[in-house]
């Protein structure tokens, strides 16, 4: 057991220098490590083992060997283990929340209220689906069987570390697949806790395997491996394209959840006093580090001044600070590279002539260390500006004005991305019609509650395939037709 601490953060890890392969903790084939930096202090708080292609080979071999027995295991047995995993996540929620705060700077209140509970929901949903899913249907003498696809390589990001892991691992093992997971090397601590949790839940050896490491080494080896049947990646467009290219020679299935530049379209009849503050909070949730964050607020031109005042007031009231303090709403950006990216994009907005309402470049006043970024709102943004077209992945909101609803829809669709979108309006019939015209995989009307059964994924360069609920579960299944079945 390894105890990590920095200021008020404390995390007990099973190990940080080993991988979880074939049911046990094992060192890397070639000793090497990667630093884990606490973004609140910029200090190295851990070293995790750095994997290689040889480590991936061992993990894939274990997953391949475990696949026949696990895929043949009864649905009831798989559901029972998923139930144990769900219970253990809730039982260990504080340790998981502390790990998330330490590794990526999540405000501890947000980690407790959102990051961990929503991760647990993916496991519950996968368990519950097994009780009703029909793996075989027969119609007209032909049987259609849905079978697990095989060994799955899962590559997850740093911004929602545990949440994205459970969104992939839970449906994969529920379907009867075995997996090799590569979590982000920038936020790997919660993944180590999760691996131990699966072990303690009684998951058989080889069903789940974890190899830490970089994308060019471990990620590329997973994508190209001939004994991996499917890849599921959440990450940047660049990473998604590289993985697809590496996977192409072996013709494996690749599902991708990539970038986004989601619009939040406020219709003329929206309740602006409610819709604007909620829009700012939605855009800045998780410090704006969400691929579906609605960072383009599209508003009627004749309400622009009102929107500007409400947005600036909301952003200026946000409490940015030490993620371990209970009243902190936004912690730091998760890592140095992303902090630099956000700063560069804020400067680009200024250079392009956007109107700065609040925030701006530089750290939050009072912080000499830590990647603390000022919540920033730009107005008078043109749809062609970089800040309106490129994913910033930080607390930066662009307000874009429109004159007609048709123009608003055109602005919403004026992006290479198509992951998420929001529409606000009191005329629900009109809001629904506008939602149908937006080219995105998921559209939210009037800030609804999160639905773990709603399929999530992108149009255009936001990826392909779907996650969550039934649609996410079926990504891990093959379809077999038995003709003449009877």
User: Which comes out higher in pLDDT, residue 70 or 2?
Assistant: 70
Q: Are 104 and 158 in contact (CB under 8 A)?
A: yes
Domain spans in the chain, listed from the N-terminal domain onward: 2-258+462-483, 263-451
Question: What are the helix (H) ranges across 201-303?
Answer: 220-224, 237-247, 272-284
> pLDDT tens, 10-21?
677 777 799 999
Q: Using a pLDDT cut of 90, give the percent of the chain over it.
A: 96
pLDDT of residue 16: 79
> pLDDT tens, 333-369?
999 999 999 999 999 999 999 999 999 999 999 999 9
> pLDDT tens, 162-209?
999 999 999 999 999 999 999 999 999 999 999 999 999 999 999 999
Cα four-point dihedral sign 2, 46, 5, 21: negative
Once rounded to an integer, what is the mean pLDDT over residues 391-399?
A: 98
pLDDT of residue 1: 56
Sheet strand arrangement including 19-21: 24-26, 19-21, 208-210, 178-182, 151-155, 230-234, 253-257, 463-464
pLDDT of residue 14: 73
358 catalytic? Reply is: no
3-state secondary structure of 237: helix
68: Cβ–Cβ under 8 A, 6 or more apart, which residues? Answer: none
Is 90 exceeded by the pLDDT of residue 226?
yes
Q: Are 241 and 213 in contact (CB under 8 A)?
A: no
Is 60 exceeded by the pLDDT of residue 9?
no
Catalytic residue among 121, 257, 467, 475: 257
For the structural domain made of 2-258+462-483, what CATH number should be given? 3.40.605.10
Q: Using a pLDDT cut of 70, give the percent of the chain over it.
A: 98
Taking the C-alpha atoms of residue 317 and residue 337, their distance in angstroms, rounded to an integer, is: 27
Taking the C-alpha atoms of residue 1 and residue 15, their distance in angstroms, rounded to an integer, is: 6
pLDDT of residue 12: 78
Taking the C-alpha atoms of residue 292 and residue 438, their distance in angstroms, rounded to an integer, is: 14
pLDDT of residue 168: 98
Is 90 exceeded by the pLDDT of residue 284?
yes
Considering the chain, what is the average pLDDT of its residues? Answer: 96
Q: pLDDT-based confidence at 6, cuts 50/70/90?
A: low
pLDDT of residue 207: 99
The total number of residues shown for the chain amounts to 486
pLDDT of residue 372: 98
> pLDDT tens, 397-412?
999 999 999 999 999 9
Domain range 263-451, CATH architecture? 3-Layer(aba) Sandwich (3.40)
Fill in the DSSP letter of residue 41.
T
Once rounded to an integer, what is the mean pLDDT over residues 76-93?
A: 98
Structure tokens at 6: 């920095």
DSSP strands (E only) in 110-229:
136-139, 142-148, 151-155, 178-182, 208-210
Q: Which of these, 2, 24, 62, 8, lies nearest to 331 by C-alpha position?
A: 8
How wide is the angle at C-alpha 434 spanned by C-alphas 428 and 438, nearest 5°? 140
pLDDT of residue 125: 98
Taking the C-alpha atoms of residue 118 and residue 114, their distance in angstroms, rounded to an integer, is: 6
> pLDDT tens, 26-61?
999 999 999 999 999 999 999 999 999 999 999 999
Give helix 189-200 / helix 161-175 axis angle, nearest 10°: 30
| HSE (side-chain half, CA atoms, 13 Å) at 214 | 6
pLDDT of residue 15: 74
pLDDT of residue 486: 85
291 catalytic? Reply is: yes
What are the two backbone dihedrals, phi and then psi, of residue 58, each rounded to the nearest 5 degrees? Answer: -65, -40
pLDDT of residue 316: 98
Torsion of CA 414, 415, 418, 423, to 10 degrees: -40
| Global confidence as pTM | 0.96
Sheet strand arrangement including 420-424: 355-358, 376-379, 396-402, 296-300, 263-266, 420-424, 442-445
Q: pLDDT-based confidence at 120, cuts 50/70/90?
A: very high
Once rounded to an integer, what is the mean pLDDT over residues 84-107?
A: 97
Residue appearing with tokens 């940080």: 16
Catalytic residue among 152, 177, 291, 358: 291
What are the two backbone dihedrals, phi and then psi, of residue 193, each rounded to the nearest 5 degrees? Answer: -65, -40
């Amino acid at each position: 057991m390894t105890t990590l601490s920095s200021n008020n953060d404390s995390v007990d890890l099973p190990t940080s220098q080993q991988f979880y392969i074939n049911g046990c903790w094992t060192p890397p084939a070639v000793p090497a490590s990667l630093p884990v930096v606490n973004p609140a202090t910029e200090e190295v708080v851990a070293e995790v083992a750095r994997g290689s292609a040889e480590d991936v080979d061992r993990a894939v071999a274990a997953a391949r060997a475990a696949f026949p027995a696990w895929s043949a295991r009864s649905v009831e047995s798989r559901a029972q283990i998923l139930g144990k995993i769900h219970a253990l996540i809730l039982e260990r929620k504080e340790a998981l929340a502390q790990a998330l705060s330490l590794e990526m700077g999540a405000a501890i209140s947000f980690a407790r209220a959102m990051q961990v509970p929503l991760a647990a929901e993916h496991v519950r949903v996968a368990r519950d689906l097994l009780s009703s899913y029909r793996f075989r249907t027969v119609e007209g003498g032909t049987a259609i069987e849905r079978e697990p696809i095989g060994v799955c390589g899962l590559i997850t990001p740093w911004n929602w570390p545990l949440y994205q892991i459970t969104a992939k691992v839970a449906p994969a093992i529920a379907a009867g697949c075995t997996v090799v997971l590569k979590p982000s090397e920038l936020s790997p601590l919660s993944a180590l806790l999760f691996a131990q949790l699966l072990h303690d839940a009684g998951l058989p050896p080889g069903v789940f395997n974890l190899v830490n490491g970089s994308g060019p080494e471990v990620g590329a080896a997973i994508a190209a491996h001939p004994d991996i049947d499917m890849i599921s990646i959440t990450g940047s467009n660049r990473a998604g394209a590289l993985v697809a290219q590496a996977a192409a020679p072996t013709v494996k299935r690749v599902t991708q959840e990539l970038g986004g530049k989601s619009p939040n379209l406020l219709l003329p009849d929206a309740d602006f006093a409610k819709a604007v503050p909620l829009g700012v909070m939605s855009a800045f949730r998780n410090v704006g580090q969400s691929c579906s964050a609605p960072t383009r607020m599209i508003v009627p031109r004749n309400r622009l001044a009102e929107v500007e005042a409400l947005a600036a007031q909301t952003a200026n009231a946000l409490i940015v600070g030490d993620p371990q303090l209970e009243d902190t709403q936004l912690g730091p950006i998760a890592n140095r590279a992303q902090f630099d990216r956000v700063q560069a994009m804020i400067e680009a907005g200024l250079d392009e002539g956007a109107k700065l309402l609040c925030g701006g470049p530089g750290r939050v006043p009072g912080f000499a260390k830590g990647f603390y970024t000022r919540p920033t709102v730009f107005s008078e943004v043109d749809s062609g500006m970089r800040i309106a077209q490129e994913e910033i992945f930080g607390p930066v909101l662009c307000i874009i004005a429109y004159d007609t609803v048709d123009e608003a829809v055109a602005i919403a669709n004026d992006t290479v991305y198509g992951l998420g979108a929001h529409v606000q309006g009191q005329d629900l019939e009109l809001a629904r019609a506008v939602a149908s015209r937006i080219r995105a995989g998921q559209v939210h009307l009037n800030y609804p509650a999160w639905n773990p059964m709603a399929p999530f994924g992108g149009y255009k360069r936001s990826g392909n395939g779907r996650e969550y609920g039934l649609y996410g579960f079926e990504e891990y299944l093959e379809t077999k037709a038995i003709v003449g079945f009877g």
